Amino acid sequence: MNNFKNLRGTVDLLPTQLIKWQNVEKIILEQLFRSSVKEIRTPILEMTELFMRGIGEGTDVVSKEMYTFLDRGERSCTLRPEGTASVARALIQNGIVTKPSQKLWYMGPMFRYERPQAGRQRQFHQLGVEFIGYENVRSDIEIIALAWDILEKLGIKELNLEINTLGDQIDRSNFQKEFLKWIEINKNFLDLDSQKRIDKNPLRILDTKNIQTKNILRDAPRLFDYLSEKSLKRYLTFKENLKLLKIPFIENFNLVRGLDYYTHTAFEFTSGSLGSQATVCGGGRYDNLFSQMGGKETPAIGFAIGLERLILLAGEEFEKNREIDIYIINKGICAELMAIELSRELRNYDLLTEIDLSGSSLSKQFKKANKLKTKSIIVIGEEEALKNKFIIRMFTKEESENQEESILLEDKTKLKKWLKSNLLHKGSFSI
């Protein structure tokens, strides 16, 4: 017999774990809805070329992390490693780039061939938000405030916002010239990974996690000193606005982010409680992406939250499951069918119901209801069923008169009245 196992770096999300996922996703979706951000869904599979062009061949993602294969038609396909390139493609292809400006979100699995470890998987999930067609610094502020509010609503502790500016392409190439001169002199002191980046993606060296390289970089030229007056002014306004909105931040001149297409604002949210993979959200402005991909020049800014890391950080209160409102105990041929009929009726009232399908004795079914901590039970014995009747009772309260009721299946008014006075949910239950 073959014992199948999931692929390394992929994870099964089991029903008990998904309670937290669903609760967290609900908060996120509500916040996005209230912020007029609309959903977009793009295919998980794309042409490899899209990511090579849209992310950049010098990046870690494209050069060593992609799941790429030839399909049966010999086309090179890739499982998406991130969402922004696909969103840009979809908008260009469908001719809706900025008609009008778009605030979009997506959520779903991403694939990167990385060494699996805590907080790092090969199939993981991201929530991404993209503001397309927005150039003004206010859009940078709005999108960061949105990320901040989502993270805060989820009770994320020890949250830090790190910011930097990457200037525009001219600022960057001016800086890169000086930086490469400095690197030429100091390259032997850099770690191996950083040395490999010199030709491919030198800016990424700034983002190193190697302590020794970090120390040496302290004496390197800073991108900040190469900003044009316009870029600098934009950055100062950005910081000023964050302060006015009382969103605390730390400046990190070495924050460059992995992907090639970023301009001006770059930011990351980290949390001290995450350990070594501390970044829960990364984002930035990418004014050059659309033109790089063959669309018209379109300013844009976005962020992506890693959902696995987010779930780790979210408070325990999100692990709570909603209690079952009514557990339906039934025994006998007529009773079993009536139980199904009744539960269908009850679902119209936003009640969480479960029917016992075991067919075991009533006392066993009672025990199960007890274990499940259900709020109330309905009991249908064969005798009641033959009279088209059932008994409904609050589970915890002993058989006191007004909390137990014998009701005829057709008598919806009586049922509603009982439900209203015994099982009222705050806000969600209206009949």
The contact set with ligand ATP (CB under 6 A) reads 82, 112, 114, 119-121, 124, 126, 258, 277, 279-282, 304, 306, 308-309
282 contacts 161 by C-beta, under 8 angstroms: no
Q: At residue 393, what are phi and psi to the nearest 5 degrees?
A: -155, 145
CB of 119 to ligand ATP, least distance (A): 6
Tell me the C-alpha to C-alpha distance, in Å, between residue 422 and each of 136, 397, 402, 428, 429: 54, 11, 10, 14, 11
CB of 130 to ligand ATP, least distance (A): 13
CB of 371 to ligand ATP, least distance (A): 36
- In the bound state with ligand ATP, the residue whose beta carbon lies nearer, of 289 and 394, is 289
SS3 of 61-120: the string is HHHHHCEEEECCCCCEEEECCCCHHHHHHHHHHCCCCCCCCEEEEEEEEEECCCCCECCE
Query: Of all residues in this chain, which one has the CB nearest to ligand ATP in the complex?
Result: 306
- In the bound state with ligand ATP, the residue whose beta carbon lies nearer, of 35 and 279, is 279
Q: How many CB atoms lie within 10 A of CB 335?
A: 21
- In the bound state with ligand ATP, the residue whose beta carbon lies nearer, of 147 and 324, is 147
- In the bound state with ligand ATP, the residue whose beta carbon lies nearer, of 282 and 332, is 282
Take residue 261 and report the two structure tokens written for it: 């297409």
User: Can you say whether residue 332 is alpha, beta or left, with left for phi > 0 and alpha for psi between -120 and 50 degrees?
Assistant: left
- In the bound state with ligand ATP, the residue whose beta carbon lies nearer, of 185 and 211, is 211
Q: How far apart are CA 129 and CA 196, in angstroms?
A: 32
- In the bound state with ligand ATP, the residue whose beta carbon lies nearer, of 167 and 306, is 306
* CA-based radius of gyration for the chain: 28
CB of 317 to ligand ATP, least distance (A): 22
Tell me the C-alpha to C-alpha distance, in Å, between residue 57 and each of 54, 175, 257, 363, 410: 9, 21, 15, 66, 68
CB of 227 to ligand ATP, least distance (A): 23
CB of 19 to ligand ATP, least distance (A): 20
- In the bound state with ligand ATP, the residue whose beta carbon lies nearer, of 146 and 281, is 281
CB of 308 to ligand ATP, least distance (A): 5
Q: What torsion, rounded to 10 degrees, do the Cα atoms 183, 215, 233, 129 define?
A: 100
